[in-house]
Structures are given as structure tokens and as C-alpha cells.
Amino acid sequence: MPDGIAARYRNEQIGCVVGLGGGSCLDTAKAVGIMLAHGGTLREYLGPDKIYRPGLPVVLVPTTSGTGSEATPNALFIVDGEKQAVLSRHIMPTAAIIDPELTLTAPAPVTAASGLDALVHAVETYTSLGATAVTEMYSLRAVELIAGSIRSAVWRGSDLAARTDMALGSYLAGVAIANAGTGAVHALAYPLGGKYRVAHGVANALMFPYVTEWNIPSDMRKFATLARAIGEPIDGLSLHDAAFKFLSGIEAIIEDVGVPRSLDDVGIPRSELGALVEGAAKQTRLLKNNPRVLSKDDMATIYTKAWR
């Protein structure tokens, strides 16, 4: 899509690109801003640091609360059946207009999937190897906002207070992504979206509990803090039990908002296990940032659990 838009407007006197919509629309606008300024095709910009100068000014207006694209230096696309990213500080938007009223008409399935995407962003940036004391403040506040409002945003879509908290939480998680990065949930979710076209938020939600279960032993204090942030009662519990309350808490959120719970639910046969593992193993940028190392066998175990 970015190639077609850039080709259509390359000879026009375009001074600014505005992206209005969900994450895919915003990422497209970011790429178009670069391509109109510097020429070329999307493929030429895939990967880290392929852009050496700013593009056209880009203003992003999200209509979902999920990707945080309005705050991140990356843009995701499906190319050759794989999720691939443009990664550069020069693709950061010039400005973002975050108006929660624009999300009021988002249907429940979109609100649920995008909201869980934002929650995964907040959690992964809090626990990633790239996290710092500063990014943790953004991540933890995002967790609190999203976990406290996602159910109401999904099932009472006109609840402006919940929509406002979701919009702010998504943005804060995006800021954290820009500085701390995500991890293995995204790495294992990418093949689901690339080859099988599972919506990004749904793919993340499918992997979220199982990667979390794997990661908890890496830093139980952080996961206990996350359990408290999502409203789980942990007073009087051992550190181990408090940390694992986070796992049961996110499983309850996922259940309550009604997204698919199993790879069977999204039509992925068990015969695809090997392809999923190989696809995830390619995501070295994300896997290196995960708090606990995963081998291919570990990934296979996680995918197998996700067929439940």
C-alpha cells in the first residue's frame, strides 16, 4: 500500500502527510512520508537505520488504542508473507493528535484486540532488557490505565473515561517501545500475522500468557509489581505466588474481552509448528531483548501450549 500511495502523489506538491486510523494506517503514513521525500520503494527501507534524513512532516491521528504507532520509530508491514519493519528515528511522526472521542465507535473486537496489543507493549517494555528506570514509569502507568479500563472500553464502548484511559495508556506504552523495545511475545506473534494474517493484537494476545509464564522466573519482583498494577490482590503472598498472580490476572482479562484463546480458534493447524518456530527464530532483534532466553525447543513448547 505505501508504494501505491507514494507513486500516486510523488509528482504533487505535498507538504505534509496525515495518517488517520488504526496502526496500519499510521504506519503507512509514516512510510509514505519517507518515500515522498526520498523516493524508492518500501523494500529499500525495511530493517534498521536505512533512512538517513527526515522525510515529510507526518501528523498521526489514531482511531484505536493499541499500536502506539503515534509514538514509535518503526512501522510494520507484511512483505513476502512475513512481518517486517522499517526502523529509524527519522520515521518518528512530527506530531500526534490523540482524541479519545475518535475511538468511541471502534467495535468491541477491534477495541479488545488493539487494547491487548497495548497491554502487551506496556508489559514487554517493563520487563525487557532495554528497560530503564525512566521507561519503567511509562510502562507501569500504561499497565495500570489499560488493565483498569479495557473491559469497560470493550463492553461499554461509549464510556469516554475508559476510552481516554486506553488512549493515554496506548500512547505511554508507545513511548516506552521507542526507548525500551518489546520481546518474545512479539517475536512469536509475528509469524501468526505474517503468514496466517491473524490480526496483530489477537496474535499478541494468543502468545501473551505462555510467554509470560516463561518469563516470570526471570524477575519475580517485576511480575509481582505488574500483578499489583492490574489490580490483583497480592498482600501476604510469597514472591512466587504474587508474581504468578499476574499470569492469572492477564488470563482473566483476555477471557473477559472475548478474543480468541487458541491457535485452533484462528485456523492454524498443528502441522505448522515447525514453520512457526522458524519464523519466530528470525526475530532476533526482539528475542535478544527478552528477559529470558528461548531456544527453538522452548518456542515449540510455547506454541504447543497455545493450541490448548
All structural domains of the chain with their residue ranges:
2-98, 107-306
Name the nearest CA neighbour of 23 among 114, 139, 138.
Answer: 114
What is the per-residue pLDDT for 86?
A: 94
Inter-CA distances, 283 with 136, 205, 251, Å = 23, 18, 25
Within this chain, domains 2-98 and 107-306 share the same CATH topology: no
Q: Given 3-state DSSP classes, what are the helix, strand and coil percentages for the chain, each rounded to the nearest 5? A: 60, 10, 30
Residues 222, 127: Cα–Cα separation, whole Å: 7
SS3 state at 87: strand
Q: Which residues pair with 48 in a beta bridge?
A: 87
pLDDT along the chain (308 residues), means of 10: 90 94 96 95 93 95 96 92 91 97 97 98 99 98 99 98 98 98 97 90 98 98 98 98 98 97 95 96 97 98 95
176/191 Cα distance (integer angstroms): 23
E strands, 107-191, are none
User: Which of the listed CATH numbers 3.40.50.800, 1.10.340.70, 3.40.50.300, 3.40.50.1970 matches domain 2-98?
Assistant: 3.40.50.1970
List the beta strands (DSSP E) in the chain. 17-21, 47-48, 58-62, 74-79, 82-87, 95-96
Q: What is the CATH number of domain 107-306?
A: 1.20.1090.10
CA distance 176 to 137: 9
Provide the residue type at 78 as one letter: I
The Cα 163–Cα 102 span in angstroms is: 9
